[in-house]
Chain A
Amino acid sequence: MPNYNTMEMMVTAAARELEDGATTAVGTGAPCAAAMLAMKTKAPNLVIMFEAGGVSPILPEMPISVGDSRTTYKAIMASGMCEIMETCCRGFVDYVFLGGAQIDMYGNLNATRLGGGDHQKPKTRLPGSGGANDLASFCWRTMVITPQDKRRFVEKVDFITTPGWLQGGDSREKSGLPKGTGPYKIITNMGAMDFEPKSKRMRVISVNPGYSFKDIQDNCGFELLKADKIVNTEPPSDEELRILREEVDPYRYIIGR
């Protein structure tokens, strides 16, 4: 039995993607835990930004909202939504971490509704874009943290709320979204995927301890590509686990899920 759970693995894997000195937009939940862990390990100078206006806080605990007091605790600046979004649009922000109810093979995300039919009378209404569409349009690299699950990884999302590589190939750039932006990595409890550079289709690049490529494929609603070399993800170190459990999420809001 490993000495960590899948959420701890996922948050640790995401934290390792953030290099020191980078800028990242984060929401609440797992992305925030990942950013906090990164700041307490390899990236002390990570600049985190919240869409409601908080810039570079020293988070004392996990925020409940992207606009609550914790997002400006010992921060550099308490600004507003236009300031943050426009900083992203100017090309200043390297990463954004997102989730979503559904994701397809091009990394398009749905957070608007489940089921087809009448948009004015949806079967299952979801919150909508919030700032996700904006951040995925503007930030250089979009990262997604989500559990590996057939109901989430679907052939076709019911609604493209937030742009991934759209229909693949060069369709994203042709749509008018800023050049050079797009989904970068998808981190799940079973492994990580990136996107094949030409077709922009999702491809497995690493598997977490205890899982295989087959496990990931079996829990995915579309055919995944395979990188030439699939690496094994390093499990969380004792130090990463200690920081995560004692300093980042002592109440286990995220890692207890």
Chain B
Amino acid sequence: MEVLDQGIGKLFTDPDPDHAREFFRKKSRKLSNKLMSLQKAVETLVHDGEYLAIGGFGANRAPIAACHEIVRQGKKNMGFAGHTSTHDFQILCAGEVFNRCDIAYIIGLEARGLSPNARKYMESGKVEVTEWTNYSLAARLKAAAMGVPYVPTRNVMGTDTFKYSAGKIVECPFTGQKLMLQPALYPDISVIHVHESDIFGNCHIRGITIADLELARASKKLIITCEKLIPNEEIRRDPSSTVIPFYLVDAVCEIPYGAYPGTMVYEYFSDEEHLKEWISVEKDPEKFKEFLKRNIYDCKDQAEYIEMHGGIIKMNELRMKEFLLHKEVDNA
């Protein structure tokens, strides 16, 4: 297959499936208890310089507690998959955790506006970037999950997004059409927040899965944070609901409200006031420093963070909002 064109962006990860196979060959398949504190999981599994990916969709079912812990532990010089990343990106930029980034969507929080600090960080020249799209990164994870070096897609061609990507364009040997090849992306370490997991890492996710099924399978190491632990019997009673099997997982951490201040579908809605506060406090570097100290560096864990922001009463309000009952409560 002749390469017709290629992007000038850097490929930050190794797309070779044989190298990945060697890694997966040595990964334990034992049905063992993987329960640990989030602090320990991040200490032992997330290392400076590695390539990190975060599950969910920015402020939806994203492992926010884990993002805080990564910043709290001062992890540095990581690579990052800027895939559908919003509030998670904002937190990791606050800690200047990464110095290279595959970009699909960054610095924004969708309808909420842009993060001033994340923008500043990405304009500082401290981060090396390669451009992609949401589907390109999902397809790259899919290629890795398939155990192949790339998958062909029909997007991106003809644009500057292609020019600054690390993709290649080839002619299809069957049809003669042009195709973009998306190189497999095997993150060193990923974190995914789920509704339920057993102690071995068998997971249930409710609602949309975004690219998490591909991400779980593409990742060399995987930390699961869950809203609640369930017994293995529940997994075995309903195996069709298992979306991530235990052998992909290295650590299981039970973190109730682990996606706060983001949304956890069927559990709680996002805390829009607190997300607004993040964006507005970033405009003043001194205030932002103090804000980070209080909310992340001096904060022990997610439980303390939740307490700081209204505790169980606030969480109940967000649960009402998730189920669209807040208006009824207001009326009553």
Contacts and interface: CB of A to CB of B under 8 A. Distances in A.
Contact of B107 (A118, A125, A160): A125
Interface stretch (A67-75, A186-194, A220-228, A237-245): A67-75
A81 B153 CA distance: 14
Contacts of B207: 53, 69, 72, 78
Nearest to A119: B164
Interface stretch (A3-11, A35-43, A168-176): A168-176
Contacts of B265: 68-69, 72
A64 B156 CA distance: 26
Q: How large is the interface on B (under 10, 10 to 19, 20 to 34, 35 or more residues)?
A: 35 or more
Contacts of A67: 56-58, 60-61, 84, 208, 210
B133 A129 contact: yes
Interface string A105-129: 0001000100000111111111111
A126 B82 CA distance: 13
B244 to A, nearest CB: 13
Contact of B160 (A28, A80, A161): A161
B192 to A, nearest CB: 13
A79 B243 CA distance: 12
A52 B156 contact: no
Contacts of A119: 129, 164
A138 B210 contact: no
A207 interface: no
Contacts of B161: 112, 128-129, 133, 160-162
A85 B135 contact: yes
Contacts of B157: 137, 163, 175-177
Interface stretch (B12-20, B174-182, B293-301, B307-315): B174-182
Given A65-B58, A128-B105, A176-B180, A133 B155 contact: yes
B136 interface: yes
B285 interface: no
A71 B58 CA distance: 15
A80 B159 contact: no
Size category of the A interface is 35 or more
A176 B158 contact: yes
Nearest to A66: B110
B84 A122 contact: no
Kindly name the residue among A69, A78, A137 whose own CB sees the greatest number of chain B CB atoms within 10 A: A69
A117 to B, nearest CB: 11
B209 interface: yes
Interface in A133-180: 133-134, 137-138, 159-163, 166, 171-172, 175-178
B123 interface: yes
Given A68-B60, A129-B104, A177 B154 contact: yes
25 contacts: A28-B110, A52-B84, A53-B207, A54-B208, A65-B111, A67-B57, A71-B208, A78-B209, A80-B209, A80-B211, A80-B214, A81-B134, A81-B210, A85-B155, A108-B159, A119-B129, A120-B125, A124-B123, A130-B133, A133-B133, A133-B159, A133-B161, A134-B156, A160-B159, A253-B111
Interface of B: 56-61, 82, 84, 86, 103-108, 110-112, 114, 119, 122-125, 128-129, 131-136, 138-139, 142, 153-161, 164, 169, 177-180, 206-214, 263, 265-266, 269-270, 272, 322, 324
